[in-house]
Structure 1
Amino acid sequence: MVDVRNNPPKKSNDSNQSNYSSRNLLSGFLFGLGIAAFIDETVFHQLLRWHHFYDKSTTDIGLISDGLFHAFSWFATIGGLFMFADLRRRNALWLARWWGSVLVGAGTFQLYDGTIQHKLMRIHQIRYVKNVLIYDMVWNTLAVLLIIIGILLIVRTRRELKQVKRDNPNEQ
């Protein structure tokens, strides 16, 4: 039985090992991206009503854009969860690597939203107030922290993967 908490799954050959390693990353990234988008849309668009996904038109267009954004977030989340279930079924889930990529996915979405959508494209701001800089700094700093923590987890699991390859030369 494979310990899915911290240890990489042991495969019969090197190509399977790297294939499942990449699937863990992709599954986590999609889930992280989707769940961050879902939280953004639910909290900031619906509950707080700070903005819509697209604020350069009417309220109706803003609501339609929120609906499309919400659908995107759920497709990404569900896609990541289907891959997660497949990894579990194959006994190939590497939870530490998966969580690292969840954090990278969530942070990437948030940093993209805070820099590209808020500042470069200006399709909406995080909040329409006089001093939006404070909101932007908190939003983007949190995004960078998520990415850094996620990358540290992924790097740690990469070291574990190299160690498994060294310890099991006949399985490569």
Structure 2
Amino acid sequence: MNAVRQSDASAIPALRTLAWAGFLLGFGMGGFFDGILLHQVLQWHHLLSLVPGEPFRDIKVQILADGLFHVLMYLIAAIGLWKLWKARRAAATGDRLLLASAAFGFGVWNIVDAVLFHWVLRIHHIRLDVNPLLWDLLWFVVFGLAFVALTWWLNRGEGPVGGGKSAAALVLAVLVGGPVAALPPRDTDTVMVFFKPGTTPNQVFAGIEAVDGRILWAAPTGDVWALDVRDKAKTALLYRHGAFLVSNSALALGCVKWTSAKL
């Protein structure tokens, strides 16, 4: 990279750390972008959408898989933030290198996602219902190859870019993008209720009655329910009737919508 070649040899280790920080932050943001936009907002797919077998039709498996995916992205982003902190002095003058590395990481995530998950393992596509290959290729080009090309363009330039504020912008993007994955949708009355093993039907229905809930969906096993509850203050009552988790996160609700459509 030009930024590295023009630097004093003693600064190369710090710049290498900075490059890794940018790559990991970009990679993590690629995962956040995928998870938030495609899993939750558009609800076009989930991580294991096309994995065959009855266990993978279980909403709990889908929620667990998407949850573990987000945890992995959080971990990668956290390592990126740690490396950025270690290279904070280099970041003051190496913002072009940092941005190029972040763009490369973002592009690499989308290339890996397309090649490995869409075409090799075939566990999901960008869209499952309309022209899967076309959408996979479009995503691969726009968010994969285009960002790798952006990396090349940034590396060809010289001098600072972004007014020396690239590090702050990346940190802000990660700190905002990560938590968004756990936020509930606005203006929703739907909650997901997970009941403990051994909870009787009488306990379940007593809990639903206690919160004045309306049943939207239930798993065949009877231990996961989607309820319409207008008064959220009442949801704590469900724990008295055998629930061990009550959630209105976008991740859980997106899985409900996707699973319900498949049944």
Same fold (TM over 0.5): yes
Contact 2:30 2:106 in 1 (8 A): yes
Amino acid corresponding to residue 41 of structure 1 in structure 2: G
Closer/same/farther in 2, CA of residues 139 and 148 from structure 1, 3 Å limit: same
What is the RMSD of the two structures over their aligned residues, measured on CA atoms? 2.4
Which residue of structure 2 lines up, in the alignment, with residue 147 of structure 1?
Answer: 148
User: Any residues of structure 2 matched to 1:18-167 within 5 Å, and which?
Assistant: 18-55=12-49, 56=51, 57-58=56-57, 59-88=59-88, 91-93=89-91, 94-142=94-142, 143-156=144-157
8 Å contact from structure 1 (residues 101, 151) kept in 2: no
CA distance in 2, matches of 1:45, 1:27: 26
- Aligned pair in 2 of structure 1 residues 154, 7: CA closer, same or farther (>3 Å)? closer
Is residue 103–residue 151 contact of structure 2 (8 Å, CA) maintained in 1? yes
Identify, as 1 or 2, the structure richer in strand.
2
Q: Deviations over 1:48-100 (max 9, x none)?
A: 22111112112321211100100111111121122212222xx2111100100
SS at match of 2:87: helix
CA contact under 8 A between 1:104 and 1:147: conserved in structure 2? yes
Distance, in Å, in 2 between the alignment partners of 1:19 and 1:49 is 42
Once residues 139 and 3 of structure 2 are traced to their aligned partners in structure 1, the CA distance between those partners, rounded to angstroms, is 33
Radius of gyration: which is bigger? 2
SS of structure 1 residue aligned to 2:104: helix
Identical columns (%): 26
Larger RCO: Structure 1 or Structure 2 (Cα < 8 Å, ≥ 6 residues apart)?
1
Tell me how many residue pairs correspond in the alignment: 149
Unaligned runs of 5+ in 1: 1-5, 161-172
